[in-house]
Chains A and B, each alone.
Chain A
Amino acid sequence: MSASKREKFYSYNTLVCLIEGLEGKYTTVDMRNESFVYGKIMQADGFMNLVMSDVTYVDGRGSEYNFDSFFVHARNIRYIHIPTELSIIQTINEQLQKMKRTVKPERQQVSKKVLQRHTETLKMIYGDTK
């Protein structure tokens, strides 16, 4: 599974990388419909969608529900409480290190064969003017 370019862009350029650095931590996420969840963040993607586990969900009326696994769509997030013992700048730096891109192999040179075929085609179309 590979993230889209846009998703990677968000990971690199926005505070989403801080949230990705919260993976494995227990925290509270406040949602837009006045409810909140407390649990462990298992995974956060570049759009800030969250997969949590060992979750207690408290709805707007105060009723509690427990879930082993819980998905939060990014647009439903209002706040994410950050554990106080966490160093923000350190978390971001570590996360950026993890994401460090692997160097792509250099683009292949156009092979002689292809180049030859290309010139032949051009000759065929425009005639042998030279």
Chain B
Amino acid sequence: MADEADQVPAITVKEPLDLVRLSLDERIYVKMRNERELRGRLHAYDQHLNMVLGEAEETVTTVEIDEETYEEVYKTTKRNIPMLFVRGDGVILVSPPMRAGV
């Protein structure tokens, strides 16, 4: 019986949020509503996906129409926030950062 207990991994994945737990203290990518993206170190989260991100970088993408060519121009603005609390209702997805994007 003791052997069985020893073989249980430290973190078991039973529900989706356990996957988020695997990312604790790692840099993560968060897609937010309104074309916003965050990259930062995940310090804490809860069941609403409220999160505390350290060294967060927010990227906001806006679309503007070029007045002459009428082409859609995507503009991104970035800003850094040392410690950020994110309210969960704006979160779309949480993922490890994409290799190229970090």
Interface presence of A48 (CB below 8 A): yes
Alpha-carbon separation in the docked complex, A75 to B88 (Å): 10
- Provided the pairs A32-B90, A88-B43 are in contact, do residues A14 and B85 lie with their beta carbons within 8 angstroms? no
Chain A residue, CB-CB nearest to B56? A79
Number of residues on chain A facing chain B (CB within 8 A): 20
A15/B46 in contact, CB under 8 A:
yes
Q: Please, which residues of chain A bring their CB within 8 A of the CB of B20?
A: none
Partner of B47, one of A13, A19, A80: A13
What's the minimum C-beta distance from A62 to chain B, rounded to whole angstroms?
A: 14
Chain B contact residues, majority secondary structure? strand
Interface presence of A18 (CB below 8 A): yes
B52/A18 in contact, CB under 8 A:
yes
Chain B residue, CB-CB nearest to A17? B46
What's the minimum C-beta distance from A39 to chain B, rounded to whole angstroms?
A: 16
Partner of B50, one of A16, A32, A88: A16
B48/A88 in contact, CB under 8 A:
no
A residues engaging B (CB < 8 A)?
13-16, 18-19, 32, 48, 74-75, 77-84, 86, 88
5 A–B contacts from the bound complex (CB under 8 Å): A14-B50, A15-B50, A18-B85, A48-B87, A82-B83
